[in-house]
Structure 1
C-alpha cells in the first residue's frame, strides 16, 4: 500500500527540525501564552464548567498516549474502552459507546466508520494529537443527539486560531521518537510551524509500526491451516502513517484557515487470525472567525470539513468486504451581544454522509444520512455563580438504497425530528467550593445500520437485523457535582442517572440462527455434503441479533482527589480516583452488556526541578453483572504502572526524555467493556508488561 509520508520524508523533516533549533533565539519569538480551556465544554470559552470535563495535553498526554484513542483515554473518570485488540477502540463514556459518543476533530465532525463496528479504528492517531478534551454526560447536546454520552474533541492545531509569533516572525516545532518493548513499537512524528502576526503555517507527519502484542498467557494462532501457540495476540500487528498541511491568515478582527490531512493504517483484526484491514482517510477543512463586529452579533465563527474514508478487509491476500464513507460537516456559530448578564451563542449545523459496503460481510446497505440543526446556548451570570440553558432542534433523514449485489436489502427511507434541551447551574457555595447540577432531555435518531442492517457481522459474532420501525431514542439525564480546592489539595465528585424511554439495544433472538452465507433462518447442514446446506450454500450459522427498543437506566458515581504531601523544592502528591456505573435493561430486569466494573486507582507523583516520576495502580473489580446467559463476565485485576521524565535545555531546543512501564506485574486481564471477551475469548487479553521509552525535542 502506497504511503503518502514515507519514512525518509519523516527522517528528513526531523533533521530539519533539529537544525532549525540552532537558529538564534531572537528569530524565534515565543508564542503568546494562551489560557487553556475546554472548548467543547463551553462555547463561550468559560473556564468554570458545569458539566464534568477532563483535558490532556503536553507531557501529561505524552505519558499516557497509546496506539488508539480509546486506550489512551481508558482510565479517565467515567471512561473505558471498546478494546478490539491494540489497534481498534473507541471511548466508552458512562457505559455508552458507539454513536452515542461524539468524536470531534478541532470542534468539527470526525466522519469515519468507527461507530459501525468495534473492529473499525478511529482515524486519529495519538502520536499526532496535541490536546484531547473529554466532556462527560449530556451537557454536550449542542453537538447532537449522538452526544448523549459525551464528547471527545481531538485538537491538532492544523488550523491555527491565534498568531504564534510577533511581527518579526519565527518558527517552532517538535519531534517525537518512541520505542515500546511489549509490541516492538517504533513510532516517530514531526511537526513544524512558522509565520508571523499575519499568517501561520503548519506541517506534520507521523509513522508507527508494531508487531503482535505480548500477553501473559499462551494463545492459539491459526494461519494457512497451521496452529501455533505463543504469548502474543495473534494478528495484532499494525502500520500507521499520515500527516497534514495547514495554515491561517490573521487579520485585525479574526482569521481564515484551511488544512488537508490524511491517515493510513493497516492492522490485524485479532478476532480472525488471517483478516487485516487496510484503511485510508482524507480530510479537508476550512475554518474562520470574524470578531468585534458590533451590532447584535459581535462575532461569527464557521467551519466546514469534508472526509473521504474507506477500508478493505483482506482475508489473507484476498480483498474481502469494502466499506466506504464520504461526508461533510458544516457548523456556524454567532455569539450575540450581551443582554445585561446574559451571554450566549446561536448556531446552525448541517451534516451529510454516504455509506456503502460490498462483500461477504456487507451487513448494512448503501445509505445516505443527512441532518440539519439549529441550536442555542445561554449563560446568565449571578452574584453566586451562573445558570445555563441550551437547546437543539434537529432534522434527520436516513435513506437506504439497498445493495445491487445483495438481494435481501430493499430501498427505504425514514425521517426524524428530534429536540434536546439542558439546564445547568454552578454555585460558588463557599471559598474553594463549587456545586454544579445539570438536567437534560435528549433525543437521538436511529442510525442507518440500526434501521436497515441485515447480514453477518463477524466482529460481534452475530447475524444483525435492523428494525425500520425504530423511533427516536429519548432519555432524561441528571448530573450533580461538587468540587473543592485549597492550594495543592483538591476533590471532585459527580453522580448521575440517565433513564431511556426507548433505548436501542442489540438483543439476541432466542432460538434463532442465520446462515452467514445466504441469511437462511435456522440453517441445517447437509449430512451428505458436510460444510454446506441442502441449498448448496456454505454452512456458517450465526446467532441472530435484532435491534429493539427497551427501557434502560444508567447510574454512576465518579470521584477524584489530590493530596499534597510535600511542597517546596520537591513536590509530592497522592492522586486518587474511583468510578462505578450500573446499566440495566428495565424491560427485562437484566444488566446491559459490556459495562465496566467499579474501579479504583491511586498514583504517587514526585516532581523536583527537571525530574518527574509516578507510581500507581488501577484496580478493576470482577464484573459478574452480565446478561443471562452469563457471557462476558471478567475476573478482578490490578494493573501497576510507573513513569519517569526528565526535561533539559539543549541550546534553543528543549529535550524531554521519558519512560513508562505498564502492567508492571505482567497481570493477565480481560476487558469487561470489550465485545471480544464475549465473542472471541480468550483470544484478546489486555497487553502484558511493556516498557515505552522516548524523546520529544521541541523549540
Structure 2
C-alpha cells in the first residue's frame, strides 16, 4: 500500500509496460475493492493558515479524480472546472484561463513558487510540466489570490508534488501509470519510487509521453477561415498537420524530517519537442532545469509559531526551428524565494506575514528578436489575517505591496535602442467574509483592489513571431493595470451533497491585452497584400477600460446510496462576459456559456462516469476575430479497482468526444486553423506498491 500523505492523495502516476500486462494482470486479479480513503484538503496556495473553511472560491484535484482528468497539457486538464478554460495551440499546449483572464494575470506555481518559462509570452509556448508528475492541483479564483502578486489578479494555479518529501517515510513505496490512446495516439507512462528510514527520505520519478498528429472530424480550418483562405490554398482534412510531439523528464529529491518539520532539496529536468500548428515546418524544442529547496518548522517559541521557506531556481530555454534551422532562441532564467511566518494570535487575529523576492532574465535571440533582453526584479511584502468573530462569522483581510523593476538591454538591435527602464510600485488589498447561515448553508464574499505592473513583453514587444503568425507591438509607456474585483457565493454542504452558486465582477483601468489591427504585414512590419506568403497578423498591446462579470455554478448530489451501489449527479456551468468599457466591444478569446452534466456510478470495485458537455456559440468577439459555433460532446469513463498481492490497481477506459463533434474553443488563438480532437478512446493502468 502507498503510505498516506496529509496534504494530498498521491496519484499513482508512472511508467509501466502496456496492454499485455494489463490483460494478464486482470486475469489473475483478486476481486477486492480498494477503498478510497477520504483525506481533508489542505489548501497550501489558498490560505497559509491551513483553514478548511475558505473564504476564497477554490477548486482542487488529486488522487483518482486528477488521474482520470489528465490531459496532454495543464490547461486542458483543468478546462471545465468552474470558471476555468484553456488557451490551446494544438493538443500539447494549453495554459489555464480563469474568469476570462490569461497570460500574466494567472500565476502558475510549483509547490508555491514560480518555475520560469515563456508560456505567458505567447500561446504557442507550452507550460513545461507533465501532469503525470503532479499529485495535486489547487486553483484559487478571484481577488483572494492577490497574496501571490498583482499578476495573480485572475487567480492562481499551483501544482504540488512530493519531490521534496514533507513527511517521514519508512520503507520503500512506488507508483506506476501507463496509458495509450486518445485522438493523437498518445503513449504515456511514468514511474515513482520513494523511501526512507523515518528521518531521511528520498523521491525519484520519471515520465515519457509521445504523440502523433491529432485526428479531427473534418477540415482543420473552419468554414469561415476557408472562405478567407481562397480556393488555391490546400486544406488539411482529418488531422492537424505538425501537431505531434514528445515530452520526457524526471526528478530526484531528498529531505530530512523531524516531528516539527522538514528540510530538503530537489532537481527536475524537462525536455520537449513539438510542432507549431500554425506553421507546418516550425518545431519547438524546449528544455528546463529546476532546482528547489523547501523547509517548514512548526511549534516554534516566541511570536511566530510556524515558518515556511520555499526557494526555486529555473533555467529555461526553447528554440523555434524553422525548416531545420534555429530561427529564435528564447531563454528565461532566475529565482524566486518566499518566506511565510505564521504568528501567534494577536487578540482575536490569527495570521501570517511574508516576504517574496524574485529576479529573472528573459531574452529572445535570433531572427525573431521579439523583445529585448529584459531583467525583471520583484520584492514584495504580504500579510493575511483572519478573525473568527463568532462560530458563524469569519472575516479575513490580506494586503501586498511590491516593487517591480524592468531593465531592458537592446543587445545591438536598433529597434530596441532607447527602450526605457521602468519601475513600478504596486499595492493590493482584499477583504472577505464567510457567514454560516446554518450547519449546511453559508455565504462567502470577497472584494479587492489590485495593481499589476506590465510585463516586459507588454512593454517592449516589437517583432515577428512566425509560430503564432503574428507581428507583436508593445507599448513602452504602458502604466499599471488597476482593478477592483468582487465575488459572492452561496454554498451548501451536507455529507456527499455539495453545491455552490457564485457571481463575480471585475472592473479594470488600463487593461492590457493584444488587439488585432486587421493589417497583414511582413517580418519588417511593412503592409502586404492578402495571400502573400509568410504574411503576419499585426497585433498591438493596448490598455483599455474593461469589465468582466459572470456566474459560476457547481454541485454534486447523491441520488442513490445503498451501501453496495452509489450514484451521484453533478452539474457545472459558467459564463463570463468581458468588454471594452469605452467602445462596448467584446474582449478577445472569452469562453461562451458552458454547462456540464455528469452521472457517477459505483458498484463495489466497478465505476462509471458519463459526462455531457455543451458550449454555446460565441458571437461576441472583437471586430477582426471570427465567431465560434456551439458543440455538444459526450464522454464516458469506466474504471475497475482491484488488488493483486500487496499492490493496488486501477484500470480505466476513457472515451472523449464520442459524438465526434467539431470543437473550437473560443479561448484558443488558433481556433480557426486547429480544432480540438475528434472521437477518441484511451486505456490506462495505475498501480501502487
For normalisation by structure 1, the TM-score amounts to 0.90
Would you say the 8 A contact 1:118–1:459 is kept in 2? no
Task: Tell me the residue number matched to 2:243.
Answer: 236
Would you say the 8 A contact 1:139–1:422 is kept in 2? yes
Would you say the 8 A contact 1:632–1:672 is kept in 2? no
1:28-107 alignment runs, 5 A limit: 35-107=40-112
1:384-533 alignment runs, 5 A limit: 384-405=392-413, 407-509=415-517, 514-516=521-523, 518-520=524-526, 522=527
- Structure 2 distance, partners of 1:523, 1:279, is 32
Gaps in structure 1 of 5+ consecutive residues: 1-8, 13-31, 532-538
Residues 189, 551 of structure 1: alpha-carbon distance in 2 compared, 3 angstrom cutoff:
same
Task: Tell me the residue number matched to 2:662.
Answer: 668
Q: CA deviation at 1:547?
A: 1.7
Q: 1:115 aligns with which of 111, 120, 124?
A: 120
Task: Tell me the residue number matched to 2:344.
Answer: 337
Deviates more, 1:40-49 or 1:332-341: 332-341
- Structure 2 distance, partners of 1:208, 1:541, is 34
- Tell me, what secondary structure is at the counterpart of 2:437? strand
- Tell me, what secondary structure is at the counterpart of 1:298? strand
Deviates more, 1:57-66 or 1:449-458: 449-458
Q: 2:273 aligns with which of 266, 271, 277?
A: 266
Q: CA deviation at 1:237?
A: 0.5
Would you say the 8 A contact 1:504–1:549 is kept in 2? yes
- Structure 2 distance, partners of 1:288, 1:102, is 22
Task: Tell me the residue number matched to 1:170.
Answer: 171
Could you give the per-residue CA deviations for residues 501-543 of structure 1, whole angstroms, max 9, x where no partner exists? 1111223447x55431x334x4689xxxx98xxxxxxx85534
Could you give the per-residue CA deviations for residues 86-143 of structure 1, whole angstroms, max 9, x where no partner exists? 0111001000000100000011112111000000000111111111111111211110
Residues 364, 491 of structure 1: alpha-carbon distance in 2 compared, 3 angstrom cutoff:
same
Would you say the 8 A contact 1:604–1:614 is kept in 2? yes
Q: CA deviation at 1:319?
A: 1.4
Q: CA deviation at 1:616?
A: 1.5
Could you give the per-residue CA deviations for residues 301-357 of structure 1, whole angstroms, max 9, x where no partner exists? 111110000001111221111101101000011111112331111100011110111
Count of residues in correspondence between the two structures:
652
Gaps in structure 2 of 5+ consecutive residues: 1-13, 18-36
- Structure 2 distance, partners of 1:252, 1:575, is 40
Task: Tell me the residue number matched to 2:335.
Answer: 328
- Structure 1 distance, partners of 2:529, 2:615, is 42
- Structure 1 distance, partners of 2:296, 2:58, is 25
- Structure 1 distance, partners of 2:548, 2:542, is 18
- Structure 2 distance, partners of 1:133, 1:363, is 33
- Tell me, what secondary structure is at the counterpart of 1:108? coil
Could you give the per-residue CA deviations for residues 239-283 of structure 1, whole angstroms, max 9, x where no partner exists? 000010001101343211100000111001111111110000000
Residues 115, 200 of structure 1: alpha-carbon distance in 2 compared, 3 angstrom cutoff:
same
Residues 687, 406 of structure 1: alpha-carbon distance in 2 compared, 3 angstrom cutoff:
farther
Q: 1:587 aligns with which of 582, 604, 615?
A: 582
Task: Tell me the residue number matched to 1:551.
Answer: 545
1:183-222 alignment runs, 5 A limit: 183-219=184-220
Deviates more, 1:100-109 or 1:484-493: 484-493
- Structure 1 distance, partners of 2:163, 2:476, is 40
Task: Tell me the residue number matched to 2:138.
Answer: 133
Q: 1:306 aligns with which of 310, 313, 317?
A: 313
Could you give the per-residue CA deviations for residues 331-389 of structure 1, whole angstroms, max 9, x where no partner exists? 01111111233111110001111011112222111110010000000111121221000
Q: CA deviation at 1:35?
A: 3.6
Would you say the 8 A contact 1:83–1:673 is kept in 2? yes
- Structure 2 distance, partners of 1:437, 1:335, is 24
Would you say the 8 A contact 2:115–2:313 is kept in 1? no
- Structure 1 distance, partners of 2:220, 2:57, is 40
- Structure 1 distance, partners of 2:558, 2:520, is 58
Residues 269, 409 of structure 1: alpha-carbon distance in 2 compared, 3 angstrom cutoff:
farther
- Tell me, what secondary structure is at the counterpart of 1:146? helix
Would you say the 8 A contact 1:594–1:632 is kept in 2? no
- Structure 1 distance, partners of 2:309, 2:476, is 35
2:164 is aligned with 1:159: yes
Task: Tell me the residue number matched to 1:5.
Answer: none
- Structure 1 distance, partners of 2:95, 2:653, is 25
- Structure 1 distance, partners of 2:400, 2:86, is 28
Task: Tell me the residue number matched to 1:693.
Answer: 683
Q: CA deviation at 1:434?
A: 1.1
Residues 524, 561 of structure 1: alpha-carbon distance in 2 compared, 3 angstrom cutoff:
closer
- Structure 1 distance, partners of 2:287, 2:385, is 39
- Structure 2 distance, partners of 1:591, 1:35, is 41
Q: CA deviation at 1:181?
A: 4.2
Task: Tell me the residue number matched to 2:616.
Answer: 621
Q: 2:569 aligns with which of 568, 574, 583?
A: 574
- Structure 1 distance, partners of 2:516, 2:16, is 51
Would you say the 8 A contact 1:403–1:410 is kept in 2? no
Residues 576, 620 of structure 1: alpha-carbon distance in 2 compared, 3 angstrom cutoff:
same
Q: CA deviation at 1:607?
A: 0.8
- Structure 2 distance, partners of 1:479, 1:280, is 39
- Structure 2 distance, partners of 1:540, 1:661, is 38
Deviates more, 1:77-86 or 1:175-184: 175-184
More RCO (CA 8 Å, sep 6+): 2
For normalisation by structure 2, the TM-score amounts to 0.91
Would you say the 8 A contact 1:87–1:268 is kept in 2? no
Q: CA deviation at 1:229?
A: 4.3
Would you say the 8 A contact 1:191–1:204 is kept in 2? yes
Could you give the per-residue CA deviations for residues 34-75 of structure 1, whole angstroms, max 9, x where no partner exists? 642221111100111111111111110111100000000011
- Structure 1 distance, partners of 2:520, 2:216, is 34
RMSD of Structure 2 on Structure 1 (CA):
2.5
Would you say the 8 A contact 1:242–1:264 is kept in 2? yes
Task: Tell me the residue number matched to 1:149.
Answer: 154
1:605-644 alignment runs, 5 A limit: 605-629=600-624, 631-644=625-638
